[in-house]
Structures are given as structure tokens and as C-alpha cells.
Structure 1
Amino acid sequence: MPGVLSHSLLDGQLCLYLLPRAAYSARDPLQWRTLGMTLERQQGVHAIGSDLRVDFDTLPGVLAQTPAGVEVFSESAEGGEYLALRLAPALVEQWLPVLDRRVQQAGHRRGLKLAQTLRRLMLDPHPDGLAIEQCALGFVALGRSVKADGGGAVSDAFLRVLERIAGEFDQPLTLAQLAQTYGENELRLLRDFSRFMGVTPHAYLVEVRLQAARRLIESSDRALAQIALEVGFAHQSHMGSAMRRQLGMTPGAYRLRF
């Protein structure tokens, strides 16, 4: 993935960061209110507001909000793409409720959609400042009603579905196959998947394929048609359509950009 992308808005009182999938170990004594959205599954260990380190397994679609003054330690061997937005205290006083601890909500459909839109806008080699500002303020507004839900704990059966997608994303997976892995019928899988992840199984599969394609495009000189087949797309134009829709650029333009 590319390095950290950032964008400063409202005279520096609002800052956006698109963090890449990469190993990291960081301690951050937060000075500003932070809202974040996981764009990829991320596993590691963290300590939030204490010295107690615990394992975490955060799925895509988790919207988290952390108040200023909370020290956050986080460490991951692989990381995962993550969108973070930070607001100066003056803006927090105007726009967001008082918060004394970190809260997060899983399967946040609107938050994930806004975060993906911000990702696309920030990846653009010629960012549209007004579009970014409007989308960022829409994301801030979500902070008025983030519910604490314990981080969206899911069953081992559901995690097996995600592991199957992670291991077989280059294959033409079917809903019936995923439902069999889940141990439930297709309708139940669709309902639970959308609730836990904020997207359908197909949308998640396409995102996993795109993330894999991005890594190959950035790190190798393989032909784009070969990459498309390796990550599970039917052909290069199929990958191109998905990348234009999600990232706002063609695979060729992405290779030149990063």
C-alpha cells in the first residue's frame, strides 16, 4: 500500500489520515478527538487508556471514536488500511458530545461508505478539496451517535467465513459455499454478514480482491491482466471496473500513482 496520505481542512483544525496496510507499533497520547474506520481486517495487540495489553481482531466496518487525553498503544504484524480523522478541541465543543472513553460500533454501513469515498478522494493525484471537506464533515457527524457495542464480537463460525474468503478470494466462491462454512442457510448468512460488516459478502469479496490487486500492482511488474486473474477477477477489465468504482482510477493509473 502507499505510505500515509494526509489532508488538512478548516485551517488545520481537522486532519484526515489514510493509513496503509503495514506492520506497526505505536503509542499515541491523543490530544484531539479521533474518529476512525477500519477498511481492512486488522489483528494485533493494543492498550487503550491503560497499561493492560489485550489482543484485538477488528473487522472492516468498525467505527471508533476516542476522546482527547486517552493514550492509545497499538501493535500489529501486518496492519490494515485505516481511515482516521482528528478534530481540534474547538470543533469538538461545537459539534460532538462529551465523551470520557473510547466507543466503537461494528457493521457501520454509512461510516464505511463515507470512509471508502474519502479513500477514493484522497488517492486522487489531484484531490478535490471541497469534495473531501464535505465528505469529512459527513463523517464527523457520525460521531454524534456512535454506540458502544463491545467492538462487534462475532462467533467463531463467522470468523471461519472470513478466513475462507481470505484464503480463497481468488476462487469463484458462492453464497452456498460460504453458508455451508457458516453452518447456516444463505439468508441467515446474508443478514448476519451485513450486520457484522456493513456490506454484503460479494462487496466484501471484491474489496479483498482489490486490496490484493493493489499490493501486487505496487510491489511487482507483473502484467495487469495476470494480476487480475491471480486475485480472482474474471479478466483485466473486470478488475478495472471495480478499481474505478472503488478507488476512482484505472489499474494503470494506480500503478503510475504509487
Structure 2
Amino acid sequence: MPGLLSQRLLGGKLCLQLLPRAAYSARDPAQWQTLGVTLERQQGVHAIDSDHRVDFDTLPGVLAYTPVGVEVFSESAAGGESLLMRLDEQFANQHLPAVGHRVQSAGNRQALSLAREVRRLLLAPQPDTLALEQCALGFVGLAQRQTETTQRAIPKAFTRVLDQIAEQFHQPLTLEQLAASYGQNELRFLRDFTRAIGLTPHAYIVEVRLQAARRMIETTDLSLASIALDSGFAHQSHMGSAFRKYLAMTPSHYRSHF
């Protein structure tokens, strides 16, 4: 994946960072107020404001607000693409609720949509500062309304579906197959999946394929046609459409850029 991309906004009051998928082990003493949104599923171990380490399995679309002074340790063998926004203390105190603990919510469709737009803007050769500032303030608005303090545990049936997608994303997958893994009918599965992640199953699979294609473009010399097929797209132009829609560039431009 490309290295960390960052952009300072509003005269340095905010800093947006797109964190790439990579193994990591980090302890953040939270000297800044931070807002984070996951763009990919992440698994590992963490400790939030304590020495007690627990396993985590975090879905895309989790919005987390961590105030100054809350120490976060996190470690993952693979990581996952995520967006982090750091706010200076004066700005955060003016616009975010005063809390003494980490606050997070899962399946936040608006946060995930904003994060994907920020990703597109940060990857652009010439970032649009005004558009980035508007997205950043959109995150602040979401955090102002955030009240849920814990992430819901992922049901084992749901984990089976995510594992199935991770293993078979390069193959054609149907709603019937995924619902069978979930153990419910198609309508119930579609509703539960969309609520948990903030994306429909189809949109989630496209994102997984897009991430796989990005990694292959960055780390191999395979042709774009081969990468399209290996990552589950029907053909190269199908992959190109996804790149243009979600990253605002063609696969060949992405390869030359990164």
C-alpha cells in the first residue's frame, strides 16, 4: 500500500491521515483528540486506557472518538486501511462533547461514506483543500451526535460470512450463498449486513476487490488484465470503473502514481 498520506487543514487545527494496510504495533498516548474511521476489516489485539489486552475484530464503518489522555495500544499482523483525524485541543473543546473515555459506533454509513470520499481526495495528485475541510467538519458533526460507547460483538454467523468473502472475493458470490453462511434468509441477511457495516454486501465485496487490486498493482508486475481477474472483477474495464468511481483515477494512473 502507499505510505501514509496526510493533509493539514483549517490553519493546522485539523490533520487528516490515510493510514495504509500494514502490520503495526503502536501505543498512542492520545496527545491530540482523535477521530478514526475504519475502511477495512481489521483484526488484532488492543488495550484501551488500561493494560488489559483483548482481541478485536473491527468492521469497516466504525467511528471512534478518543479524547486527550486516553492511551490506546493496538497491534495487528495485517492492519487495515483507515482514516484518522487529529484535532487540536482548543478546536475539539469547542466542537466535541467532553468525555473521559473512548466513544465509538459501528455500522456508521455516513462516516464510511465520508471516509471513502476523503480517501479519494487524498489520493488525488492535487488535493482539493476546501472539499477536504468540508469532509473533516462532517466528521466533527457526526461525532457531536455520537452516543454509543461500545462496539457490538460480531455474531459468529456474521464472522463466517466475512471470512467467506475474504477467502472467495475473487469468485462470483451470490446473496443466496452468503445468506446460507449467515443462516438466515436473503432479506434478513441483507438488512443485518447493511446495518452492521454501512455497506450492502455487493458494495462491501467491491471494496474488498478494490483493495486486493490496489495491493497487487503496488507490489507486483502483473498486467492490469490479470490483476482484474485475480481480484474478482469480470474484466479490466470493470476494475477500471471501480477505480474511477472510488479513487478518481484509472488503474494505470494508480500504478504510475504509487
- TM-score (ref. length: structure 1): 0.98
Provide the rounded CA distance (Å) in 2 between the counterparts of 1:123 and 1:248.
8
Query: How high is the sequence identity, in percent, across the aligned residues?
Result: 66
Provide the rounded CA distance (Å) in 1 between the counterparts of 2:163 and 2:205.
11
| Structure 1 residue 149 displacement after superposition | 5.0
Query: Quick one: structure 1 residues 159 and 149, their matched pair in 2 at CA, closer, same or farther if it must change by over 3 Å?
Result: farther
The 5-angstrom pairing of residues 34-73 of structure 1 reads 34-73=34-73
1:146 is the counterpart of 2:158: no
The 5-angstrom pairing of residues 30-109 of structure 1 reads 30-109=30-109
Task: Please name the residue that 1:257 is paired with.
Answer: 257
Provide the rounded CA distance (Å) in 1 between the counterparts of 2:149 and 2:8.
30
Provide the rounded CA distance (Å) in 2 between the counterparts of 1:149 and 1:225.
45
| Structure 1 residue 147 displacement after superposition | 2.6
Once the two structures are overlaid, the 10-residue window that deviates more, 138-147 or 225-234, is: 138-147
User: 2:151 aligns to what SS in structure 1?
Assistant: coil
What one-letter code is carried by the residue in structure 1 that aligns with 2:32?
Answer: W
Provide the rounded CA distance (Å) in 2 between the counterparts of 1:218 and 1:152.
34
1:3-55 CA-partner distances (Å, limit 9, x unpaired): 11111011111011100000011111011111100001111111111111111
Number of corresponding residues: 258
Task: Please name the residue that 1:181 is paired with.
Answer: 181
Unaligned ranges ≥5, structure 1: none
Are 1:106 and 1:149, in contact at CA under 8 Å, matched by a contact in 2?
A: no
1:215 is the counterpart of 2:202: no
| Structure 1 residue 103 displacement after superposition | 1.1
Provide the rounded CA distance (Å) in 2 between the counterparts of 1:74 and 1:182.
29
| Structure 1 residue 226 displacement after superposition | 0.7
Provide the rounded CA distance (Å) in 2 between the counterparts of 1:62 and 1:149.
12
| Structure 1 residue 148 displacement after superposition | 1.9
Provide the rounded CA distance (Å) in 2 between the counterparts of 1:127 and 1:9.
11
What one-letter code is carried by the residue in structure 1 that aligns with 2:257?
Answer: R
1:192-237 CA-partner distances (Å, limit 9, x unpaired): 0011000100000000000000000000111101100111101000
Are 2:61 and 2:198, in contact at CA under 8 Å, matched by a contact in 1?
A: yes
- TM-score (ref. length: structure 2): 0.98
Provide the rounded CA distance (Å) in 2 between the counterparts of 1:203 and 1:84.
22
Provide the rounded CA distance (Å) in 2 between the counterparts of 1:11 and 1:148.
31
Unaligned ranges ≥5, structure 2: none
Task: Please name the residue that 1:158 is paired with.
Answer: 158
Provide the rounded CA distance (Å) in 2 between the counterparts of 1:153 and 1:254.
36
User: 1:217 aligns to what SS in structure 2?
Assistant: helix
Provide the rounded CA distance (Å) in 2 between the counterparts of 1:171 and 1:154.
24
Task: Please name the residue that 1:204 is paired with.
Answer: 204
User: 2:84 aligns to what SS in structure 1?
Assistant: strand
Task: Please name the residue that 2:15 is paired with.
Answer: 15
Provide the rounded CA distance (Å) in 1 between the counterparts of 2:186 and 2:148.
29
User: 1:11 aligns to what SS in structure 2?
Assistant: helix
Provide the rounded CA distance (Å) in 1 between the counterparts of 2:4 and 2:109.
24
Task: Please name the residue that 1:236 is paired with.
Answer: 236
1:152-199 CA-partner distances (Å, limit 9, x unpaired): 212100110011000000111000000111110000000000110001
Provide the rounded CA distance (Å) in 2 between the counterparts of 1:201 and 1:106.
16
Provide the rounded CA distance (Å) in 1 between the counterparts of 2:63 and 2:102.
11
